[in-house]
Amino acid sequence: MIEQLLWFVLVVILVTLTVNYFIATKHLPPGPFPLPIIGNAHKLAANSRHVDLMQLEKQYGKVFRLYLGSQLVVVVSGGDAIQEVLVTRSSNFAGRPSIHSSEVYSKGRVIGFADYSSEWRLHRKLALSALKLYGAGGIKQEAIVTNEFDLLMERVRSRNGQPHDITREIRLAVTNVICALVFGSRYEPDDPEFLKFSDITNSIVSMLAAGSIVDVFPWLGFYPFKSIQLLKEKCKERDELVGRIYREHVEANRVAAPQDLTDTLLKARKQAEDEDSSVTGSLTDERLIMTIGEVFLAGIDTTASTLCWALLYLIHNNEIQERLHQELDKVIGPDRLPKLQDKKNLPYLEATIAETLRLSSLAPLSAPHKATVDTTLQGYHIPKGTTILVNLWSLHHDPAIWDNPDKFMPERFLDKDGKFVPPKQDRFLPFSAGRRACLGESLARIELFLILARLLHRFRFENPPGCDLPTLVPIAGLVLMPQPFEVCASCRHES
């Protein structure tokens, strides 16, 4: 009798849960049935979430739902739905979900991870103001890139065409460009502070990319997981190092004549406080220190990885590299290096950069958004607090938008006269869009153009003789990075 009663109670519970689930999801986007406790987490592999989501998209459509643990997640792909989230109704989806590892990293003060609020808007406005003040015309960036490129060129030339890991050289060059832009200084490869900076950055990126079980099951936050403790330690080291450099800039007091981005942030803060004294308490030193660290972290991985992807694609497509050499020889000639003002006359190079950004899709899922209000998306109900994942990988590899989406084809961005045609925003979003668009897009585009143009002007990059072509399978992390690969770089011009 007791056994029958227990079975009856179990059936009632299961039926009740099932009925409640269907009632709760009646007006939500379609999606797979979640398992108890884990939801649909089992459907996403750690290294290929963007690809797994693209497969689910084929079954459930451009807007569908998942549950990660108990958290409702809506996955968005397709130009129309993505535009609605990022642009046309961006205020409804401008929030950031609370993710434990991200909170440890950002303390709620990093622009990229902070939730949508009046303080966030003020902080972002300050950062944008500083970037515009510092980046006007790209003159300073070009001078910094020129100085660092000279050293990169010598290191590559010293290899005398022998195989070497180009990814390490590019990362070193980009790191020093970012250091010069942000801090006003550069480092030698064996400088102790540079090595410490690199260790901190690499460790934080790796740990954020790996995530934590607490991100999916927040109720486990009480347990002192080793990975979370290590992340806290590295973030403390970052704060101490960046904080010291920041205080040196405050003491130098170069607001009247800024020398780098940190000086410019201090100038932008002073201007904001002079215009409105009520903002004084919001634009704290701690927030500016986190902004400096954020620019440093984001600038290195994205730019270095994009440049490495570009060279990797060109090694796989020698005929495209040859066409780039012809364009550079015709427009620039052998006696000088490409300059920023040459960009408009190098359409095939511009198309190659755009195609690299599309095919590599460095941030395939962007950063997660959150619904700030009860709202709708493509006719579906989206409750307040829902996590929104924007699948940019799907957008950039959609065969309905791109012919042969997995093939490297710069000419897709050229018109019949060979002129560069900027891709439409509803199908090409390597830097995202709207209120949460990448702050450093303009700086990144300048670096990408100048470094790639000059590398290709000076060198021909080839796969080492007798070796298989390097893999195009990425290393999954905060961004999709190419695996280290070796090249033979032969000089094209000696001057």
Q: Give the pLDDT confidence score for residue 248 in this predicted structure.
A: 92
User: Is the separation of the CB atoms in 491 and 459 below 8 Å?
Assistant: yes
Backbone angles phi, psi at 216, to 5 degrees: -95, -35
User: Is the separation of the CB atoms in 115 and 100 below 8 Å?
Assistant: no
Checking if the pLDDT of 493 tops 80, the result is: no
The number of beta carbons lying within 10 Å of the beta carbon of residue 199 is: 12
Q: Name beta bridge partners: 63.
A: 76
User: Is the four-CA dihedral 178, 179, 185, 189 of positive or negative sign?
Assistant: negative
Checking if the pLDDT of 57 tops 80, the result is: yes
49 pLDDT tier (thresholds 50, 70, 90): confident
Q: Give the pLDDT confidence score for residue 14 in this predicted structure.
A: 56
The number of beta carbons lying within 10 Å of the beta carbon of residue 151 is: 15
Among the ranges given (58-67, 252-261, 335-344), the one the predictor scored with the smallest mean pLDDT: 252-261
Q: Give the pLDDT confidence score for residue 292 in this predicted structure.
A: 86
Q: Which two tokens stand for residue 272?
A: 């904001």
How many whole angstroms separate alpha carbon 183 and alpha carbon 191? Answer: 15
Percentage of the chain lying above the pLDDT 70 cut: 93
How many whole angstroms separate alpha carbon 212 and alpha carbon 101? Answer: 7
Cα-based torsion angle of the residue sequence 209, 213, 214, 217 in order, rounded to the nearest 10 degrees: 130
Cα-based torsion angle of the residue sequence 236, 240, 241, 246 in order, rounded to the nearest 10 degrees: 130
User: Residue 365's closest CA among 396, 386, 402?
Assistant: 396
Element of type H or E holding 172: helix 166-183
Checking if the pLDDT of 60 tops 70, the result is: yes
How many whole angstroms separate alpha carbon 71 and alpha carbon 384? Answer: 12
Checking if the pLDDT of 10 tops 70, the result is: no
The C-alpha angle 484, 488, 493, rounded to 5 degrees, equals 130
Q: Please state the separation of Cα 104 from the chain's center in Å.
A: 19
Q: Which two tokens stand for residue 330?
A: 């015709």
Element of type H or E holding 267: helix 261-275
213-228 confidence digits (pLDDT tens): 787 777 777 777 888 8
User: Residue 179's closest CA among 203, 195, 165, 158?
Assistant: 195
284 pLDDT tier (thresholds 50, 70, 90): confident
Alpha helices in 61-99 (DSSP H): 79-83
The helix, strand and coil proportions of the chain, stated in percent and rounded to the nearest 5, come to: 55, 10, 35
How many whole angstroms separate alpha carbon 358 and alpha carbon 194? Answer: 32
Q: Which two tokens stand for residue 175?
A: 């790191």
155-188 confidence digits (pLDDT tens): 899 998 899 998 888 988 888 888 888 888 888 8
User: Both ends of the chain: CA-CA distance in Å?
Assistant: 95
Mean pLDDT of the region 305-315:
96
State the DSSP string of 44-59.
Answer: --TT-HHHHHHHHHHH
Q: Give the pLDDT confidence score for residue 138 in this predicted structure.
A: 59
Mean pLDDT of the region 441-462:
92
Checking if the pLDDT of 447 tops 70, the result is: yes
6 pLDDT tier (thresholds 50, 70, 90): low
Axis-axis angle for helices 166-183, 139-157 (nearest 10): 150
Mean pLDDT of the region 428-442:
89
Q: Which of 92-106, 228-242, 409-423 has the highest mean pLDDT?
A: 409-423
How many whole angstroms separate alpha carbon 352 and alpha carbon 317? Answer: 11
Backbone angles phi, psi at 253, to 5 degrees: 50, 65
Among the ranges given (13-22, 95-104, 150-159), the one the predictor scored with the smallest mean pLDDT: 13-22
Checking if the pLDDT of 323 tops 90, the result is: yes
How many whole angstroms separate alpha carbon 117 and alpha carbon 134? Answer: 26
Q: Give the pLDDT confidence score for residue 198 in this predicted structure.
A: 81
How many whole angstroms separate alpha carbon 259 and alpha carbon 140? Answer: 9
How many whole angstroms separate alpha carbon 466 and alpha carbon 15? Answer: 64
Average pLDDT value for the chain:
87
The C-alpha angle 258, 264, 268, rounded to 5 degrees, equals 130
Mean pLDDT of the region 144-156:
86
Percentage of the chain lying above the pLDDT 90 cut: 44
The C-alpha angle 51, 54, 57, rounded to 5 degrees, equals 160
Q: Give the pLDDT confidence score for residue 121 in this predicted structure.
A: 87
Mean pLDDT of the region 33-59:
87
How many whole angstroms separate alpha carbon 59 and alpha carbon 31? Answer: 9
The letter for the amino acid at 231 is L
380-404 confidence digits (pLDDT tens): 999 999 999 999 999 999 999 999 9
Mean pLDDT of the region 130-148:
76
